[in-house]
Each structure stands twice: as C-alpha cells, then as structure tokens.
Amino acid sequence: MKTLFRNIACVIALVSCVACSGTIDFETGSNTDNGNGAGPDTELPDSGDEADPMTQVPEGVLRIFADKTEISADGNDAVTFTVMFGSEDVSNAKTLQLIREYDGEQKYMSYSVNKFSTVTAGKYKFSAKYYYGGNNITDNSVEIVAKAHFTGEEKSYKRRYFGTLFTSTGCNSCPLAANGLKKLQSENPGLISIAAFHADMTVPDPMTIAETYELQSALGGFTGLPAFFWNMRESSYTGGNAFMESFAKEQAAYTTYSGVSVNTLKGADDLTWEIQIGVTSNMPAIFRNMLILVEDNIPAIGEYEQNGQNSSYVHYNVVRKVLTSVSGDKMNDNLPLTVGVEAKVVKSVTLDPSWNRDNLRVIAAAMTSEDGGNTWTVNNVNECRLGESASYLYEE
C-alpha cells in the first residue's frame, strides 16, 4: 500500500512539473520554457500592437498624416500626405487643399495635391482644408523639417520674374492692367518678363490662341478679366490691378537657384528659326522648360481695336505662339540636373507672315515643381529679341 501511494505521489509531481515549466522531452528529460507558460508551438494571443492612427479618425473629423517628417531641401525629395475625413481617404479630392505655413506665412497649395518638396531649408507646418457640405479644417497639423542640401560652390543667379496676364480686346478694364504692367516693367528694368494671353470676350479677339484656355484651366479655371499670375503660381492670382502691390511680396517670398540662357538662330529663310535654351542649377532638381514667342507694338486698329480705347492704343507682350506645353516640356530625360552642368534644349518655329519679325521676343523659363510634379512654377526666366541672344545673368 505504501508503494502504491508513493507511485501516485510521483505522478502528481510530474504533472505539476509539466504545468509549471512548459514542456518536457520525455526522452531526454529536458525542459523548454517559452517565458509565457506555453510551449514553442503554442499560438500566442495578439500582443496588442498600437492600431494604425489613420484608421482611428472619428467620423466627421479631418486629420492629416505624413509618410515622413524630414526631407532634403534638394527639390526632389518629397513628403506625401494622407488626409482622412473619418474613414475616407480624401488626399486627392478635388475640394482638398493643403495649407503650408513657413516663416509665419500661410500658403494654400493647389487643389488635389498631397505632395511637397522644396529647395528652401527650414521648418514647415501643414494642415488641410476640405469642402464637403461646408469647409472642414484638420484638427491637427504636421511639421516637416527640410534639411539644407549641400551643392558645393553656388552661383548667384539673378532672379527675374515671369508674369502672365489674361486679357482681351473686348475687355474695357484690361488696358489699365496692361499699362500698369508696362509701367512696372519700366520701373524694374531687366527684372520682369510679361506674356499677355488673349481670350475672346464679348467680341472675337484676333490674338486669341488655344493655349490661353489650356493655361486658364491649369491655373485654377478662374473667371473674369483681367487676371494676372506671378511665375505661373496659382496662389498668386490677382484680379484687376492689384498685381503691382503683389510684386514686392513675390520678391520677398521666393528666390531662385537656377539660370537660363537663350539663343535664336535664323534658318533657311526669314520665317524659320531655331531657339536654343540652356538651364543650369545650384540644386539637383528636375526641371521643365517653357518657351513663348511674344510680339510688341501691335496698333489697336481694325480687327485689333481695343474696347474703350482709341486708335493710339498699342498692344504689348502679345503671346503669338507657345512652343512647349503650358506646363513646360521635360528636359534632361526628366532626371535631376547635375549641379553646375548645363542642360540644353533646341526648338524650331515657323513664323506667321502676318507677325512683325522686328517686334518679336522669345521668353524662356526654367520650371520646377514643389508638389511632386502636379504643378510647375517658374524658377527663373530670361528673354531676348528674335535674332539675338541672352546669356546667364548673375548678381553683381
């Protein structure tokens, strides 16, 4: 009987050992402990990892998230934002706008854009606005740090400014804008290139071209003339004549890191021309080029008569032809420019015999993107008369 009790006690002790120590290899007597009171093949419960915050946005709440909080200020490295409206991703919605704050100033970015890159080092704060049954503003913001990008020895390119005027012979108030811009150019010699895109308004305008309406759509689909933009920047939209006050603001807000050269060569006859463009940069950014042919000194007589003006009125900066797309053509195989190395583009154009060749100018612009290639703005611009050339410009 004592032997029986001793055997029972051994069995109980063995079972207790298994329960406390995990598993036992009955052949070797070894003990494997997984630290959780479970064997190595036992499926452990979920450790309770933190839930994805993008899935935790309450309904009716707008919230912004970033895939990273630090980028290189090289013009290429970009942060991508995700904006959630409750459980819905509205990052590319047509009524969504990112709000960028830098150095105490707020800027609304283009609609449907959710990427940002820059060549200006510093701290940026982003929020967003989404229209859905009313304006919704994010209940949070995201700070992005753009770190300075080393480029070696920089060249001090002279900053020139590109202005786009939308006008029409049927617009009574447009001449005031055109004359104001001409005055602004004379007060800032060598700093401003203007391209006047004509549109039909109440009467057909003989200077209207198809690209007028393409560019109007690209710049937000505004209505009403005159309208003006600095450097193809949608946020710089100015109606009427307030653009004169906006020039100082544009000068203070944006700098350049590129230079542009342009050369014009006559072809086989007086109507055939070759346009050569060069772009160099302090930053390894991706560039596009835009090339525009404009004509000055067109008398406002006959079909060119201007509403509200007599025959002494003269049209200036009239866009006759856009040799690229309105958002610029790709260059350097759409790869970032090598710092200090010139990228070249050659275009050809055939003039309309009705244009006055002696009054034609070529405007060449270097364009970059700050939103991952959704929109392109002018980083610098240069111009020359047809038959002449313009070299890179540097600060003295």
CA atoms of 108 and 98, how far apart (whole Å): 6
The domain limits of the chain are 53-148, 161-390
Provide the phi-psi class of 250: left if phi over 0, else alpha when psi is between -120 and 50, else beta: alpha
**Least confident among 217-221, 275-279, 377-381:** 217-221
As a whole number of angstroms, the distance between CA 254 and CA 256 comes to 7
Report whether 171 contacts 178 (CB < 8 A).
no
- What is the per-residue pLDDT across 235-284, written as a single tens digit (0 to 9) for each? 788 876 677 778 988 888 888 999 999 999 999 999 999 999 999 999 98
Block residue for tokens 């150095």: 103
Query: Considering the chain, what is the average pLDDT of its residues?
Result: 87
Is the pLDDT confidence value at 143 over 90?
yes
Is domain 53-148 given the CATH code 1.10.760.10 in the classification?
Answer: no
Instruction: Average the pLDDT over each of 144-148, 156-160, 359-363 and give the range with the smallest value.
Output: 144-148
The model's pLDDT over 116-140, given as tens digits with 9 standing for 90+, comes to: 998 788 899 999 999 999 999 999 9
Cis peptide bond upstream of 175, omega within 30: no
Kindly report, residue by residue over 201-216, the tens digit of the pLDDT.
Answer: 999 999 999 999 999 9
Asked, colleague to colleague, whether 53-148 and 161-390 share their fold, the answer is yes
* Residue of 111 and 12 predicted with greater confidence: 111
Per-residue confidence (pLDDT) for residue 151, from 0 to 100: 62
Most confident of 30-39, 111-120, 142-151: 111-120
| pLDDT score at 345 | 96
Q: What is the pTM assigned to this prediction? A: 0.75
Residue range 161-390, CATH number:
2.60.40.10
The share of the chain scoring above pLDDT 90, in percent, equals: 69
